[in-house]
Structure 1
């Protein structure tokens, strides 16, 4: 259930940034940068496509998400201190695997998006990081959501989503730290590969 909710949140992410930002006069406007990405994602979701074309639709969403989300930063943060302990080649391998994992764990469930509404809360920028607090209105349910962003050059990118107090990054960080306390990085990557295969076979749900 939490993964399905997170998937819906990711879809509507770009619709959340509006209003004034603290100390943001000299910085790019996150709303104007992210709006076209969200429009593209919603357009892909709204396209009925052909029967059996679900995988193609997911790939199209991922192509758009690559522009609005910083998967390398996400990968770095879920590994914590272990990121600096692995080689550049291993870092690239992990980014690819973690991005693929997110593709199946969240993006493939984006069909759950059904025009949920958003109420805007406090928004602030501190240095090169921004946090936007919102409420996702899903029927009778109101879900607090925060988006954490990092400024890359002139582009704001999302690197964490916090739903009902649960951080996507912290969730995976805790899981990976537990694995790395018992095994090495090679074992972690193998477990990620195995999980991805499970998703591809449809053996993992929710």
Structure 2
């Protein structure tokens, strides 16, 4: 009887969680992701003053849960992803995700101060209903940042998998760079490129 009760309660929790996720549209996901990240950055004195390492930690904690950067990695790496070993795929994903976090954090450091405001435009849904683009505007005292987000509908709800900063979608930008590294030395060369890039930021 006790086991049955636990099972019923677990099912209820799962049902509620699924219902909440299903109601969260792409606009809600972007709004929640940006709000959580900006709020945390404003609350952290170092991040608020533009410290990159502090901002990276804020992004890792508050922004990553809303993303599907494994999909991002798979698309950016292209055909080489399918031929990579599981360990290589793991390294590619972890290093590229860190690069994306660093890039997003670097842009966020440009918008400083307590008076940070943001605006989210209505989502533009794809024809299949499983892809969406949401444009946002984040403004601070000295700068204004326009960021676009591409989201895909997953079993866990809408997830961000591509970001447009400065008029360029990151997947497209890195596809070109990755193709060059893969042509020169294969997957291991690309992994080294990512590791070296992230190491420079960590210094």
TM-score, length of structure 2 as denominator length = 0.71
Kindly state the Cα deviation for residue 79 of structure 1 after the two structures are TM-superposed: 0.2
Which residue in 2 is equivalent to 1:62? 60
SS in 2 for 1:126: coil
1:41–1:61: 8 Å Cα contact kept in structure 2? Answer: yes
Kindly state the Cα deviation for residue 122 of structure 1 after the two structures are TM-superposed: 6.5
**Unaligned residue ranges in structure 2 (runs of 5+):** 1-21
Could you list the structure 1 runs, at least 4 aligned residues long, displaced by more than 6 angstroms after superposition. Answer: 135-139, 141-144
Which residue in 1 is equivalent to 2:32? 36
| Backbone CA RMSD of aligned residues | 3.2
> 1:38-97, CA deviations, whole angstroms, 9 ceiling, x for partnerless residues?
222111111143699763442132122221121101111110111111022211111111
Which residue in 1 is equivalent to 2:95? 97
For 1:200 and 1:162, locate their aligned partners in 2 and report how far apart those are by CA, in whole Å.
Answer: 23
Kindly state the Cα deviation for residue 153 of structure 1 after the two structures are TM-superposed: 1.2
2:180 paired with 1:178 = yes
The 1:135–1:54 alpha-carbon spacing in structure 2 relative to 1, beyond 3 Å, is closer
SS in 2 for 1:183: helix
Tell which structure's C-alpha radius of gyration is larger. 2
Identify the structure with the greater helix proportion: 2
Which residue in 1 is equivalent to 2:200? 198
Return 168-177 or 47-56, whichever deviates more.
47-56
Return 46-55 or 125-134, whichever deviates more.
46-55
Kindly state the Cα deviation for residue 161 of structure 1 after the two structures are TM-superposed: 1.9
SS in 2 for 1:112: coil
Aligned residue pairs, count: 175
Kindly state the Cα deviation for residue 106 of structure 1 after the two structures are TM-superposed: 2.9
TM-score, length of structure 1 as denominator length = 0.70
Which residue in 2 is equivalent to 1:169? 171
Greater relative contact order (Cα < 8 A, sep 6+): 1
**Unaligned residue ranges in structure 1 (runs of 5+):** 1-25, 202-206
For 1:134 and 1:43, locate their aligned partners in 2 and report how far apart those are by CA, in whole Å.
Answer: 16
SS in 1 for 2:109: helix
Which residue in 2 is equivalent to 1:150? 152
For 2:51 and 2:166, locate their aligned partners in 1 and report how far apart those are by CA, in whole Å.
Answer: 33
